[in-house]
Amino acid sequence: MEKQWDIIEVLRHSRHDWLNKLQLIKGNLDLNRIDRVKEVIDQIVIEAQHETKLSNLGVPHFAALLLRTNWESRSFLLEYEVFEDGDSGKINDSALADWSNLFFSCLDQAVDVYQENHLSVTIDPQSEGIRFFFDFSGIIRNSELIEKFLAAPKESDMDFSIKEFSENELALEVFMPVM
């Protein structure tokens, strides 16, 4: 059952993230590591720009999933990048969010929880729809579980292909056309 996030809980997690970033800046300032402070600030700006682009895509369920994933107890760290703002039109946001949530749960069960596992999601808005690239790196302990998930029926308008699949990497390309 999916956890319901209320505004207080979202603000609590967001505030915690910002305090961590400020502590990182303060600690590096105390050590007089100005170059590192600039790097941290540059990274914060890039993350904020991607968050803005994600929020403006018109996929609120999928955006909420990505924004809260690292606040949940996952076996991987999620990063996302949104290419330049594009006019992609309306896609089936609920189907995308539901599939992605199931995929994240499948990964949680299939990977080695004691390893550094990373999932990168790249989002490429296009005129005919939105293309998503899911790139996982880490240790996959149960590849059969992932194979079963990927073989299961999907939303009819969702098109995806497996680009790479090994014990250390999984790369998927998903395309959601305009409705």
**Predicted local distance difference test score (pLDDT) of residue 2:** 57
86: confidence class by pLDDT, cuts 50, 70, 90: low
pLDDT of 84 strictly over 70: yes
Q: Cβ of 76: how many Cβ atoms within 10 Å?
A: 21
**Predicted local distance difference test score (pLDDT) of residue 87:** 62
pLDDT of 1 strictly over 80: no
59: confidence class by pLDDT, cuts 50, 70, 90: very high
Tell which residue, 118, 51, 58, has the closest CA to residue 82.
51
156: confidence class by pLDDT, cuts 50, 70, 90: low
127: confidence class by pLDDT, cuts 50, 70, 90: confident
Residues 6 or more apart whose Cβ sits within 8 Å of residue 45: none
Of 50-54, 88-92, 121-125, 151-155, give the lowest mean pLDDT range. 151-155
pLDDT of 177 strictly over 80: yes
**Domain residue ranges of the chain, discontinuous segments joined by +:** 56-177
Structural tokens at position 167? 């014990």
Distance between CA 116 and CA 105 in Å, rounded?
17
Structural tokens at position 29? 């300032």
Q: What pLDDT, in 10s, does the model give residues 8-19? A: 888 888 899 999
Residues 6 or more apart whose Cβ sits within 8 Å of residue 96: 59, 61, 62, 132, 155, 158, 174, 176
What's the CATH architecture for 56-177?
A: 2-Layer Sandwich (3.30)
Residues 6 or more apart whose Cβ sits within 8 Å of residue 133: 120, 121, 122, 124, 171, 172, 173, 174
Diameter over CA atoms, the chain:
56
- % of residues, the chain, pLDDT over 90: 75
Distance between CA 119 and CA 142 in Å, rounded?
16
Structural tokens at position 51? 């968050």
